[in-house]
Structures are given as C-alpha cells and as structure tokens.
Amino acid sequence: MQLPPSFSAFPWLPAMCLGVAASLGVAASAASLSADAAWREPPTDLAELRARGPAALDELLARYDRLAAMNAPPDPGWEAAIDAVAGQRYATTSRLYWYTELAAAEQEAHRLHRPILALRLLGDLRDDLSCANSRLFRATLYANRELSAFLRANFVLYWSTERPVPIVTIDLGGGRKLVRTTTGNSAHYVLDEDGHVLDVLPGLYAASVFRTELTRSLALAGRVRGMTDAARIRETVAYHAAALEASERTWTTSVPWSDLRGRLGLGSSDGAAMVAQAQARTIGKNVIELGDLRAMGLIHPGDVPSDDAAAWTEIGAQVWGFALETVGPLAALVAPSRALGRPDPGPILDAPSRDLVRALHNAGPIEQRATAGQLASVVARLEQHIVADTAQNELRLRLAIHRYIAEQAVTDFARLNAWIYEVVFASPKADPWLGLLARTDFTGLPGDGVVMP
C-alpha cells in the first residue's frame, strides 16, 4: 500500500491546509451568525402559526423569552406577531391563546374535556381600541400571572364581538387628537363543550374573585358533563338558584348600606337616558368615559350617581377583604373587613399587571408621561375601581343574571346574551346608536351630525 507523501515533500501544503481550514471556519461562523440572525427575526407565517393553535404560541413565547434572557431586545415585530397568533393584544404578558370561531373552540373543548370561557365584547380583542372593559381585562385579569396559568390549565378561551365599538375622536388642532372609545360592556360566559351557557360573569372583577367564581363554574361543568340536556338544565338552574340565595344573603348580613340597597334593581335609573343607564352599570369604565360623554352633551350632571363608586368600593373591601391604598374621595377609608377576619385575598393587581398598566399609561408623548408618584396614584385609583366593579357586578348585575337563569331556565347563548345586553348592560342591539343619538336637545348641526353609509 502506498503511503501519502510527507508534508516535507510539499512545503506549501500546510499553509494551504490552514488557509482552507480558516476559510471553512469563517464560512461556518458566517452561517452560524446568519442562522442566529434569522432565529431572532419575528415570524412571518402568522396564518399558519395561528392555525396550529396554542402549541405554536408556546413555541413563539419560548423564543421570545430566550431573546429577552440574552439581553437582546427583540424586534418590535415580535409583539405584533405573538398578538396575531394569540388572538389578543399584549399576549406577551397574558400568554393566552384565544379562539375566534366557536366551532374550533368546541372541538378543542371536546378534545381536552374542558369548558369554554367565552368573552363577549365590543370591538376586537387584538386592537388597542377595543371597548374599555376588554382593555381593562387585558391589563388587570389576563396579565395576572396566577390567573393566566389557571385559565390555560382549565379552560378553552374564545372571544366574539357583540358589535363594533364606538370610537370618539376629539381634534384639538395642530395635529393634537384624543382618540378613545365609549359605551358598551363585556361579559365572560362559561360554556360547556357544546356551547351551552353554564355561568356568566358580567364586567370587570378583581383577579382573585374572578378565579374563585370560575372555580365554582368549573365544578358545575364537571357535574353536567355527559348529562342529558334536561338534566344539565336542571343542574344549571339549581346552581343559579343557590347562587342567587347566597348573593341576597350577603346583602342582608354583610352590607349595611340601605340607601344603596334601594338602588339594587336594574330599573333604578330608568328615568335617565339609555346611555346614562348603561354607564351606571360600571365603575371603572364609567370613570374612563364619563368626561367625554358629558363634553359631548350626551350625559348631564346627576344622570349617573356620583357617590356610588365610593360606596361600592367600600362594599367590595367589606365583603372580600381587600386592603386599599386609598386616594381621592376614599382617602379616609379603612378596610373594615380585617375586623371581620376575612382571608387575605392577595393584591388586587399583581406585578405583571402593574407593569403593564404603568407601561400603557406612559406610552404616549414624552411630555405627557407621569412621574412615579403620579403612576402610584393612577394604580391606586384603578384598584379602587376594580374593587367597586367587583362588588356591583357580583351583588347587582350577576344577581339579576342568577335570578333570570333560575326563573327562566335559559342556557342558550344567543337568547341569554341578547337579554344581558338589553337589560343588564342597558345596551340593546335594537338601538344602532347605543343611546348616543338621543335627539332631545338642539345641537345646531344638520341632523345632529349623523353620517350614514
């Protein structure tokens, strides 16, 4: 066998080998850098990823987290891509996958043997300008770390649109504008695997109370799984009858505010305009929208009781044991629930929620950004409003829903949803203007400024 010639016979060979090796190393390094750069780029095949469902979202979030751990700020396109795949704005915080077709949600619910948590909102959950309550859900419920994990482990998530959300643009001239939404409300429906309504949570809740109530709904879903329709309806009616009794007992044993109790019924503001009635059904959303509605002359002073927010906040602190960093009109409030020995419900806003609230509040022009002290005040006021909404939703709006289901035995989503928007939210679908076109006062505008398609 002939051996290869010695390097000594070819003095130029080592240099050539080193050169080849070096060039190969450069090529490999370049390929590695190219692959790494491609890995950092946000995905573009969003429709395909969206169709793959929650698994694709998990993969994208893993890449996003790895980039963040490398102290390499991800391309801004990453957040948009993850939102598109998740079906929700700010999904890098919530990490939730939302179906937008009921049939697909039901198919997944059957596969996993889980109930469906169905959000009904005005607008699109992927847009910044969805309705006010859905925006609050994103920042204070879905962003909550423990609640997000609970939802991922126990529900199939689905959202649908009641109608487009009204958008208000105030042009101040010189390029300065305020663009906001107004009116409308949102609700979370717990559906069984076939889309029948088991429970409803109207409006905004504190995360801990929201989870407690959903845990009860989960137990109901477990009991009715596999039942005949007649047996399922009987079990659902019994659940709401018991919940109605418990809510009414809470009023008589824990809430001494007899003046507010007199306004418990949903018809208490029927003398006011429809838009004022709708605003009276919320606290946090009303705070956001009331100024704009008054500026447009659509709500007048006294249409929405001004003292209800403070009273409902105090009720919420009393019933659920929330301790509040109080500001403004509630600065003197000391949560009386501690004396009642209530268990600590934990923070109203956890760290991820607070971070998202602060980031959104300061996302505008630099000259409009709040100081640390101002942000603390904003967060404290938001927590007050969350506690107030929790109390009003549980002890006023949801009480009416319990009664309706218990008495009418309604578990059909379309029928129940229509009743909730018409009666509970005072936003009937029959009114295309959502109460914003009263035509009772002269505006000086041709046809009150109405533009039709």
Separation CA 327–CA 196 (nearest Å)? 42
The residue assigned the tokens 């009386």 is 336
Which amino acid type is present at position 76? P
* pLDDT tens digits, one per residue of 200-229: 999 999 999 999 999 999 999 999 999 999
Provide the residue-wise pLDDT of the chain in tens; the chain has 453 residues.
443 444 344 344 444 444 444 444 444 443 443 446 677 889 999 999 999 999 999 999 999 999 888 876 667 899 999 999 999 999 999 999 999 999 999 999 999 999 999 999 999 999 999 999 999 999 999 999 999 999 999 999 999 999 999 888 888 899 988 888 888 799 999 999 999 999 999 999 999 999 999 999 999 999 999 999 999 999 999 999 999 999 988 877 766 554 555 555 565 444 456 666 766 677 776 666 566 656 566 666 556 555 578 888 888 888 898 887 654 544 444 444 444 456 778 889 999 999 999 999 999 888 889 999 999 999 999 999 999 999 999 998 999 999 999 999 999 999 999 999 999 998 888 888 877 787 877 888 898 888 989
DSSP letter for 112, please.
Answer: H
3-state secondary structure of 443: coil
Q: Do the strands 187-191 and 167-173 form a parallel or antiparallel pair, or are they unpaired?
A: unpaired
CA quadruple 244, 133, 319, 254: dihedral sign: negative
Q: Give the helix, strand, coil percentages of the chain, each rounded to 5.
A: 55, 10, 35
Please measure the distance between the N-terminal and C-terminal CA atoms of the chain and give it in whole angstroms: 91
DSSP letter for 177, please.
Answer: E
Residue in 281, 336, 289, 276 with CA at minimum distance from that of residue 309? 281
Stretch (H or E) spanning 435: none
- pLDDT value of residue 183: 81
* pLDDT tens digits, one per residue of 243-270: 999 998 887 776 655 455 555 556 544 4
Residue in 29, 53, 62 with CA at minimum distance from that of residue 101? 53
Q: 429 vs 184, 199, 426, CA distance in Å?
A: 11, 22, 10
Is there a contact between 292 and 168 (Cβ–Cβ < 8 Å)?
yes
Quick one: 86 exposed, middle or buried, by C-beta within 10 A (0-12, 13-18, 19+)?
buried
Stretch (H or E) spanning 168: strand 167-173
Entry pTM? 0.85
Residue in 198, 205, 241 with CA at minimum distance from that of residue 223? 198
393 phi and psi, to 5 degrees? -65, -45
Domain layout of the chain by residue ranges: 46-67+81-88, 98-436
3-state secondary structure of 115: coil
Half-sphere exposure of 175 (CA within 13 A, CB side): 1
Domain 98-436 has CATH 3.60.21.10: no
* 370 contacts: CB under 8 Å, gap ≥ 6: 361, 362, 378
Stretch (H or E) spanning 331: none
Separation CA 404–CA 21 (nearest Å)? 79
| Count of other CB atoms within 10 angstroms of residue 140 | 27
Count each helix (H run) and each strand (E run) in the chain, helices first: 18, 7
* pLDDT tens digits, one per residue of 402-442: 999 999 999 999 999 999 999 999 888 888 887 778 787 78
